[in-house]
Copies of this chain bind each other. A is one copy, B any other.
Amino acid sequence: MSVLKSPPDSVGRPHSVERAERAKALPCIECPVKAQNVCQPLDEKRQRELYDTGKQQTWDRGQILFRAVDPAGPIFKIVSGIVAVSKRLPDGRRQILDFFFAGEICGYLERDGHYSFEGEAMTRVKTCSFNRAKFNAFATAHDDVSEVVRSTLAWKLESVSRHMAVLGQLTASERVATFLCRLSSHCEKQDVPIRKLALPMTGAEIADYLGIRLETVSRSLSELKQRKIIDLGEDIVVVLDPARLAELSGPDLLR
């Protein structure tokens, strides 16, 4: 298997676990996200069956997992790390539609044989990459799995709709505050319940997610710091006053 040179903009083949190695043991046993999403209802037998439809991959920050022009290939369950899914406009503008965290599935949506959007690793990312046809067949064959797919879609549709209201109605500073609240509530749910937030994405990426310029993001953050609501460190935000932050995010558009 020859390794291709990385095309210009930092796309490249990820490191794959070899078939032979896979046969040895089922890594799912130790998988940090085995209890999440489609894997949640699976016993060991079915887990192995699903695992055999895919392979594990590791991606470096900035690598593209899938592009909107590519024919729809595998779907990706994120084992660790963060993936940004975005829509690019021909003139260079882009809208980051959502950030996907460990346990979530991305690259699922397709449109006449192509990925609908683009997925990019915001950090080092580990994925289980399932063959699309086999995954769909697996889901069709198992009612509980397809129920998980359905509820995941419904949940995503809701959270994306909510973010639409952010883009359509909120001011720049409200958007930034909302973003921090969302990050914070996400961390509370799985990570340390501390109010030190790691910011794994750059200002430009936050800007593309919030539909504003990166300078505006920076200014809003500075203003929040000025007002002693947050403190800024190295790729870190410390929330000093969660209550006031929530106020500033205006309405309840969290999650």
Contact = CB atoms under 8 A, between A and B. Distances in A.
Contacts of A111: 158
Contact of A160 (B93, B94, B157): B157
Number of copies: 2
A243 interface: no
Given A169-B93, A251-B89, A157 B164 contact: no
B158 A161 contact: no
A250 B89 contact: yes
A167 interface: yes
Interface in A207-221: 208, 210-211
B163 A164 contact: yes
A108 to B, nearest CB: 7
B117 A161 contact: yes
Interface stretch (A11-19, A50-58, A148-156, A224-232): A148-156
Contacts of A164: 87, 95, 97, 160, 163-164, 167
A202 B21 CA distance: 62
Interface of A: 87, 89-91, 93-95, 97-98, 108-109, 111, 116-117, 140, 143, 146-147, 149-150, 153-154, 156-158, 160-165, 167-169, 208, 210-211, 250-253
